[in-house]
Amino acid sequence: MKKISEGRERLRLEAGLDDFKLPRIQDNQPPTKALVIACSESAVLSAFVASLDPLCILQNLGGILPNSQFLDDLRNKDDDAGWGTVAYALGKMGLRQVVLCGHSECGIATATQVNNPESSPVPGSGIRKDERLAEQSIVAEKLQAAKRTSQLWLVEQLLRLNAYLAHPAFHLETDVRVYALWFDEDQRQLSAYSRDQRQFVVMDQPDIEQLFGVLRADREKA
């Protein structure tokens, strides 16, 4: 346990996670009862995942969830690593918290936008055309283009997850709480997506403490 704790502390320090002023979760507590979906290219996100210690992790380049076409092809749903992980976490493990994580320096989001400048951040998702799940993202004009793109990319993954949760084939008896967290690696700020304001809002210290309080509350039930 001491080696694990030292490794987490070293990762937090080297990645600069301490600059975000996030609370620490004690090593003697059980894992967080949550599924975390995050981009694997960011050292900050990797340090955050290690510090949070969730029961289930889906981490790949871009933190990508499959597009909505996979939801309608139920024959292949179990062969897909993305939805397969989500189905296992929510269905078999009974998790009811999902944390989506994105970051300002996401190369996958930027590369996709460069290759498809007239398209949505994730081509062919189909979700933006679904009025039942339509959701707008209002992005502050002061943000750099790359940061706007990475925020929209994260919103796209949120929409895909919403499509999954709303699909009749994956009906769950209890609600799932979904958080979309965006790490600004330049400003060392953490933002959360607000459905009411339809934009990412910078979290102050009380907001961060409240979020971690909710995560800890579920953790204590493990």
| DSSP assignment of 134-160 | -------TTS-HHHHHHHHHHHHHHHH
What is the rounded distance in angstroms from the CA atom of residue 24 to the CA atom of residue 70? 37
113-171 pLDDT, tens digit each: 655 544 444 434 444 444 444 456 777 777 888 899 999 999 999 999 998 888 877 77
Which has the higher per-residue pLDDT, 221 or 165? 165
Mean pLDDT of 33-39: 96
Token couple for 34: 């949550």
What is the rounded distance in angstroms from the CA atom of residue 90 to the CA atom of residue 140? 34
Please give the distance of CA 165 from its chain centroid, rounded to a whole number: 15
Per-residue confidence (pLDDT) for residue 40, from 0 to 100:
95
Confirm if 44 and 184 have CB atoms less than 8 A apart.
no
Q: Quick one: angle between helices 43-52 and 2-15, nearest 10?
A: 150
Structural domains in the chain, sorted by start: 2-219 (3.40.1050.10)
Mean of pLDDT over the chain: 81
Q: Going by DSSP bridges, is the β-strand pair 189-194/199-202 parallel, antiparallel, or unpaired?
A: antiparallel
What is the rounded distance in angstroms from the CA atom of residue 194 to the CA atom of residue 137? 9
Please give the distance of CA 57 from its chain centroid, rounded to a whole number: 10
Predicted TM-score (pTM) of this structure: 0.85
Confirm if 108 and 39 have CB atoms less than 8 A apart.
yes
Confirm if 163 and 133 have CB atoms less than 8 A apart.
yes
On the question of pLDDT at 111 being above 90, the answer is no
On the question of pLDDT at 2 being above 80, the answer is no
61-92 pLDDT, tens digit each: 999 998 766 666 655 555 567 888 998 999 99
Which has the higher per-residue pLDDT, 217 or 214? 214
